[in-house]
Structure 1
Amino acid sequence: MEQPRTAALRLLALAATALAASASSALAQKTYDPGASDTEIKVGNTTPYSGPVSPYSLIAKTEAAYFRMINEKGGVNGRKIKYISYDDAYSPPKTVEQTRKLVESDEVLLMFSALGTPTNTAVQKYLNGKGVPQLFISTGGSQWGNPKQFPWTMGYTPTYRGEGRIYARYILQNHPGAKVAILYQNDDYGKDYLAGFKDVVGEKYGKLVVAEATYEGNDPTIDSQILRLQASGADVFFNVTTAKFAAQSIKKMAEINWKPVHLLNSVSSSVGSVLKPAGFENAKGIISVAYLKDATDPQWKDDPGYKEWSAFMDKYFPEGDRANSFTVLGFCTARTLVRVLEQAGDTLTRANVMKQAADLKDVEVGMLLPGVTVNTSPTDYFPVEKEQLQRFNGERWELFGPIVTGE
């Protein structure tokens, strides 16, 4: 007959085993929101595959290729990424329609890297009201880093407003007596750059800036604006335009032999989609900022990050334009999202996705410039904030000066 003490010990051991099994079960429990399962993670995107800014769709195409690579290698924690990307033609009403479809019909876990300031603005309140992550937006609007008001929205690239401050400081330091002409798109994107410029020059703005011109995103040409700005006598030109209009402006300036100091926003600094169509000789001397490695620059040929990007392009996106910075940006954003999803583990809820996105510490994604890493926190929703000035030498960009921030 079993002694009472022995029986008690055996019961205690059984209880401990049961408790351990229960704890193990709890730890192994998987938690999902719509768009996630044991086998799949649905990621939504809108981008302009058609319309005047369709060249930017290369970012989404690169992201799609990156996710194909991840899926071929087994996915994220055993789950394949289903990337659903729709054309919004850079039209806010269309963005609203497509975003609602992605959330309510396709039931994506999150929205990722949707392109455009006016387009993302149109769905920001909707997504925040629904508690759907609006993650790593493909635009530098300063409103994408306001976690108190919009806790479900996070940008990725350095802000347009911060970039505007960098150019203003450059002008004041290097061309203090300048007469500045500014061209910008008449929407939140263009006005953000202008606001950053004004942050730095303040009351000097009226004296420093001798001419301003705007254009609409669906305008056929900006030739008349360039002629008007040249007539102002400006010797510094701050050019805030998207790819199509940037190429037009560079060509027109060469045609009329207008040669001011030319500051071009980084949105349109792509060698492949802007400078090459505009003519390398025409683009010589243009100044911009960079946070990405220029894939056309031979200085990176032995760089591990470049080699990784190049191998990815060779195998998974051979038709992609290797001279275009959009393929570099798409690689970086997609790789950062994969890091967030890895950190989320088996708790694939929308709240945990945002929690992990706000907990990135010195993350290197290969094709950011040396000294530039991804950093976020619950109060810092600007993942990439550092940049460096660069000048186009007629063949490629040359970096100069220190790493700077406009924030």
Structure 2
Amino acid sequence: MTTYATAAATTVTRTRLDLPQLVWALAATHFVSRAGSVVQSFLVLYLTQEQGLTPTAAGAVVAAVGIGGIGSQLIGGWLCDRIGRRNTMLAGFLGTTIAIAALGSAGSLPTIWASAVGLGLVADLFRPAGAAAVADLPAEQRIRAFGLLFWAANLGFSLATVTAGVLARHGYGLLFWLNAVAAVLAALIVRRRIPETRPPAGERARRALLPVLRRDRLMIAMTLLNVAYFTLFLQTFATLPLMMTADGHGPAAYGAILALNGIVIVLGQPLAVRLLAGRDPGAVLAASALLVGAGAGAGAVTHSGTGYALSVLVWTLGQIGMAVMYGGTFASLAPADLRGRYMGVASATWSVGAVFGPLAGTALLNLGGRGTLGAVCVIAGLALFGAQLALRPALRRRMTAQAEPSPSDS
């Protein structure tokens, strides 16, 4: 007897790159949602310039979105195992529409903060649900599928940065409208193009996540490593503009350097998928962490525009390597009945890093200076490199065991 995932894979129409239409529809939702996610990028400016909040208060609102985002990943993982991947994505996009409208109309600090938490809680529900839908595919399709989602999201982000900058000149209200419309469009794509991939109730055991997770030492180790990795990676987005400003480089220069990150991803990600597919995931993840540490460390000690550009190029290559292997590796760790919740935990590592990274990076920069920040980044990259290599044998054993057909599959 074939498994549900195998049967679904054979019945879904294939398209380009031998990927199911499901994956291309998911990529479309990632592109549309990221292209329309213009409010968060300009939220600080909106709060300080139009709402009259102090920078400290505005920072607290942004942090509230991030805190809500951590819960969003975990709740999304739980929901997509309970009510389905498709329903969770619909709830996330429609909830985002409501939360964006609430945030745009909020006038007092308590209502702004509450709306920000609400936005964080719903805005990322689709991520673990989409990741679980890809994890439901056969293992040989996952790397290309996750790579396509990452590429589509970054293409959307690149478009969002340009669009938001133009629209903000005509008022921040346009950003809220665009964000809400994009969420509705993404929900329509889910409604019309994305089928449910969750295994039928008869093929799923009703297990709680925590008892299984407590016994899964490999998953715990990978989760902790990825929290450390994203803390290292995401601190660059807080410290880089501060260091460039101190060196006399204006906002235009920072924008150009940041655009390099998106350009390299859009152009290099498809090639990276072809080059890295079939490689040892542990080795690729280890090398990616090393590149991020080296790039972040180099950026802390350089002062020229060329030096900053080279540092961004190095850590972007590490980011691409991580993106190619990240989703597929966690999908291979997940039991079939807990895929959504496992992918929710995996997605939450990014959100936790988004909270810890800016705090740790700016604290090191303020207390120890650029030299200390650079040294810590390099040491962290080396430590993550060694730890990830140490997990390679266990990863290979788990992924081999997951790839072997069970007696019920025959």
TM-score range, shorter-chain basis? Answer: under 0.3
The structure richer in helix per residue is 2
TM-score w.r.t. structure 1 length? 0.27
Q: Higher relative contact order by CA 8 Å / sep ≥ 6: 1 or 2? A: 2
The structure richer in strand per residue is 1
TM-score w.r.t. structure 2 length? 0.27
